[in-house]
């Protein structure tokens, strides 16, 4: 067995072991009722009526038929035993980690940076919410198809196989049907065209190449347009008239614009210091102008630096815009719900930050002999710290009472946590 295969299997095995305790966890009152425990159509398993409901109804303020079908399959196999869907989420997450490793290895031919990124993806505590929460099946399932789409796209570019292009497009469409947050994936493919696929450079005389690459992505953008319109219609109330989109009277535009840089920099901060993670982050009661200004300036500084380094260190530009671009659908400019941010939103976007960190580390190790000896130890310490924090974070998802008491302990009184704790009690 080759070294990459051994690493992929080790990565998947450790991930499965890490999340295995969730098999003994309960459903939670936050959204699990909408998707499973109080949804009789889903509980009936896979039926013609259920399939019609999944594909034609703008249910739960979204259009995600594959996610609903996956819950139907769970109910058909396991009934209302939460062990089944928890284990399925864990299995998909482990497969996603292995797929990400395969993707990055094919893109860059860099074994250890690819392994480091995949391990961060698998074991970072910010991803616990997407795996340990049954309702977030849509995160792990959509990412599974997104990674397959990117792997197939890489095969198309490197081997010139048109069939791989259409497989990539199909996987993208399936991912959209699991969670519409993937709508910016065509832009990620354009980033990969720049680096590491090196199909075009960022210069004025390359406009013909970029035009060709844009035309190549037209089918992807058509899927994006259809999914965006469908999702907006669903969140605006569909045919039921009950909107999930907050009005400007409820969340004014200046509040949305002010919260945007704060949320983005909070995600970056929690990547480096992943503590006090909760299921619900209430919106700030007051937006302090100095904090908004500082977050905005930091955001602009990182973006400017990544652009400045685009020729020498293209992975910084690709990683940073991967992160920012995939957060656009959940940026809050079109506010859905009342939360100001959510850990689950970072499940795939945070890969961009992982890329920046891993390839910077690889460059430093390649330049300095001392770093080659120190960096492996530091990487191991970082991954062990992630595993430890993830084990702790997983424990908060044991049941609804544990989850919302932790939320209240971290962020203080808020109506969502209080209401759900009250329902639980």
- pLDDT tier, 239 (very low <50, low <70, confident <90, very high otherwise): very low
DSSP 124-156: -GGGHHHHH-GGGHHHHHHHHHHHHHHHHHHHH
Q: What is the mean pLDDT of residues 45-49?
A: 95
pLDDT of res. 258: 74
Q: What is the mean pLDDT of residues 280-306?
A: 90
Among 252, 413, 274, 227, residue whose Cα is nearest residue 332: 252
Please identify which residue in the block is written with the tokens 């209240």: 408
**From its phi and psi, is residue 47 left (phi > 0), alpha (psi between -120 and 50) or beta?**
beta
- 227, two tokens: 């999914």
Q: Tell me the per-residue pLDDT of 395-408, one tens digit each, with 9 for 90 and over.
A: 999 999 999 999 99
Highest mean pLDDT among 63-77, 218-232, 235-249: 63-77
Do the Cβ atoms of 150 and 192 come closer than 8 Å? yes
pLDDT of res. 9: 94
pLDDT at 245 over 90: no
Please identify which residue in the block is written with the tokens 């924090």: 389
Q: Tell me the per-residue pLDDT of 11-39, one tens digit each, with 9 for 90 and over.
A: 999 999 999 999 999 999 999 999 999 99
Please identify which residue in the block is written with the tokens 């499973």: 36
pLDDT of res. 338: 67
Would you call 158 helix, strand, or coil by DSSP?
helix
Would you call 336 helix, strand, or coil by DSSP?
strand
Q: What is the mean pLDDT of residues 322-344?
A: 80
pLDDT of res. 249: 54
What does residue 144 show for φ and ψ, rounded to 5 degrees?
Answer: -55, -50
Do the Cβ atoms of 309 and 317 come closer than 8 Å? yes
Do the Cβ atoms of 335 and 246 come closer than 8 Å? yes
Q: What is the mean pLDDT of residues 1-17?
A: 91
CA distances from 268 to 346, 351, 354 (A): 10, 12, 11
pLDDT at 421 over 70: yes
Where is pLDDT greater, at 346 or 2? 346
- 128, two tokens: 């616990």
pLDDT of res. 277: 96
Distance between CA 130 and CA 132 in Å, rounded?
6
Q: Tell me the per-residue pLDDT of 202-236, one tens digit each, with 9 for 90 and over.
A: 888 889 999 999 999 999 999 999 888 887 776 66
Do the Cβ atoms of 125 and 177 come closer than 8 Å? no
pLDDT of res. 294: 94
Report pTM.
Answer: 0.94
Please count the structural domains in the chain. 1
Distance between CA 256 and CA 4 in Å, rounded?
44
Range of the domain at 129: 3-424
- Name the least confident of 99-103, 179-183, 386-390: 179-183
The angle formed by the CA atoms of residues 76, 172 and 77, to the nearest 5 degrees, is: 10
- pLDDT tier, 238 (very low <50, low <70, confident <90, very high otherwise): very low
pLDDT of res. 241: 44
Among 336, 318, 335, 326, residue whose Cα is nearest residue 183: 326
Among 217, 194, 223, 188, residue whose Cα is nearest residue 206: 194
pLDDT of res. 270: 96
- pLDDT tier, 419 (very low <50, low <70, confident <90, very high otherwise): very high
Mean model confidence pLDDT for the chain: 91
- pLDDT tier, 163 (very low <50, low <70, confident <90, very high otherwise): very high
Would you call 244 helix, strand, or coil by DSSP?
coil
Packing angle, helices 111-123 and 3-19, rounded to 10: 10
- pLDDT tier, 370 (very low <50, low <70, confident <90, very high otherwise): confident
The angle formed by the CA atoms of residues 67, 69 and 70, to the nearest 5 degrees, is: 65
Q: Tell me the per-residue pLDDT of 79-133, one tens digit each, with 9 for 90 and over.
A: 999 999 999 999 999 999 999 999 999 999 999 999 999 999 999 999 999 999 9
- pLDDT tier, 240 (very low <50, low <70, confident <90, very high otherwise): very low
């Amino acid at each position: 067995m080759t070294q990459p295969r051994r690493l992929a299997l080790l990565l998947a095995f450790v991930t499965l072991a890490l999340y295995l305790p969730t098999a003994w966890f309960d459903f939670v009152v936050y959204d699990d009722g909408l998707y499973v425990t109080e949804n009789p159509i889903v509980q009936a398993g896979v039926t013609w009526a259920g399939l019609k409901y999944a594909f034609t109804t703008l249910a739960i303020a979204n259009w995600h038929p594959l996610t609903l079908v996956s819950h139907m399959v769970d109910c058909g196999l396991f009934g209302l035993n939460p062990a089944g869907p928890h284990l399925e989420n864990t299995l998909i997450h482990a497969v996603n980690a292995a797929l990400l490793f395969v993707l990055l290895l094919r893109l860059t031919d860099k074994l250890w940076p690819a392994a480091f990124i995949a391990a961060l993806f698998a074991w970072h505590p910010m991803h616990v919410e997407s795996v340990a929460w049954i309702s977030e099946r849509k995160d792990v399932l959509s990412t599974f198809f997104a990674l397959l789409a990117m792997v197939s796209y890489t095969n198309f570019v490197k081997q010139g196989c048109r069939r791989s292009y259409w497989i990539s497009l199909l996987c993208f469409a399936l991912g959209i049907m699991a969670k519409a947050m993937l709508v910016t994936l065509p832009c990620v493919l354009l980033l990969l065209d720049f680096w590491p696929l090196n199909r075009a450079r960022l210069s004025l005389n390359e406009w013909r190449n970029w035009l060709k690459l844009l035309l190549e992505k037209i089918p992807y953008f058509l899927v994006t347009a259809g999914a965006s319109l469908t999702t907006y219609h669903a969140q605006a109330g569909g045919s039921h008239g009950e909107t999930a989109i907050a009005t400007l009277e409820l969340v004014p535009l200046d509040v949305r614009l002010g919260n945007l840089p704060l949320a983005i920099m909070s995600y970056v901060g929690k990547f480096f210091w992943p503590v006090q993670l909760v299921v619900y982050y209430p919106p700030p009661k007051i937006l302090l102008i100095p904090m908004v200004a500082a977050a905005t300036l930091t955001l602009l500084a990182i973006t400017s630096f990544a652009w400045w380094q685009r020729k020498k260190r293209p992975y910084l530009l690709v990683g940073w815009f991967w992160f920012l671009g995939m957060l656009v659908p959940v940026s809050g400019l079109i506010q859905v719900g009342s939360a100001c941010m959510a850990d689950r939103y970072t499940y795939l976007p945070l890969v961009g930050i992982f890329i920046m960190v891993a390839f910077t580390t690889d460059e430093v190790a390649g330049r300095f002999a001392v770093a080659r000896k120190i960096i492996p130890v530091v990487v191991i310490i970082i991954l062990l710290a992630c595993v430890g924090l993830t084990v702790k974070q997983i424990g908060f998802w044991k049941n609804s009472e544990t989850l919302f008491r932790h939320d209240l302990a971290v962020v203080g009184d808020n109506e969502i946590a209080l209401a759900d704790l009250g329902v639980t009690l």
